[in-house]
Structure 1
Amino acid sequence: MATVLIVDDEFGIAELLDAVLADDGHTVLTAANGRQGLARVAAQRPDLIVLDFMMPVMDGPAMLAALRTDPATREIPVVLMSSMPEETVRARASGHAAFLRKPFRIRQVRELVERLLAGRDGDG
């Protein structure tokens, strides 16, 4: 299966996503902010990143911008999640493969993750 990085400062959401995706057979890494997320990516390149929009230290748009400027990480699909409407998020962030509106249903997460991972070329 794939390696998925969850970057969210809300412990309950990160823990829930970790449990669900691990149950689905994925290796799950977690980080509490964008700076920690970039460090995790440098240590072990994930196949997919689920990234919260608003976080302390380094927010989702800043982490996403850093990922997209680095040739080693620019192709990693990113799911950007927020309780704000997608149009609001899109005004401040670009380059994400999908948007997930909080609160979300577990089924939505599973379907989105599987759809994005199915697009891999088998090299993950």
Structure 2
Amino acid sequence: MAMVLIVDDEFGIAELLDAVLSDDGHTVVTAANGRQGLARVAAARPDLIFLDFMMPVMDGPAMLAALGGDPATSGIPVVLMSSMPEDTVRERASGHAVFLRKPFRIRQVHDLVAALLTERPGDK
């Protein structure tokens, strides 16, 4: 199965995603902000990232820019999450594979993970 990184400062969201993805057999790593997220990426390159848009220390757009600027990480698909409308988020962030509006349904998470991991060549 895949390694999934969840970067979100809302403990409840991170805990829910961790439980759902772990139950599906994925290895899950979490971080509370973009700076911690980049450290987790460097330690163990994830196959997929769920990234919150608004966080302290380093927000989602800044982490996306850092990931996109590094050839070693620019190919990792990122699900950018926010309660704000997608058009508003798109004004400040680019480089994500999919936008997921909060609150979301668990079925959406399952569908996104299946689609994004299936699209990647050489998946397990």
Q: TM-score range by the shorter chain?
A: over 0.9
* 1:83 matches 2:80: no
Q: What's the CA shift for 1:123?
A: 4.7
AA in 2 matched with 1:5: L
Would the aligned equivalents of 2:117 and 2:123 in 1 still touch at CA under 8 Å?
no
- Give 1:9 shift: 0.1
Matching residue of 1:114: 114
Letter matched to residue 120 of structure 1: R
TM-score when normalising by structure 2:
0.98
**What residue in structure 2 maps to residue 34 of structure 1?**
34
State the match for 1:60 in structure 2: 60
* Cα distance in 1 between the residues matched to 2:96 and 2:114: 16
What letter matches 2:42 in structure 1?
A
Q: What is aligned with 2:73?
A: 73
How high is the TM-score relative to the length of structure 1?
Answer: 0.98
Gaps of 5+ in 1: none
Q: 4+ residue runs of structure 1 moved beyond 6 angstroms?
A: none
Aligned CA-pair RMSD:
0.8
> Is 1:105 the counterpart of 2:114 in the alignment?
no
2:47·2:76 contact (CA, 8 Å) conserved in 1? Answer: yes
Give the number of equivalent residue pairs.
Answer: 124
Q: Unaligned stretches of 5+ in structure 2?
A: none
Which residue matches 1:50? 50
3-state SS, counterpart of residue 61 of structure 1: helix
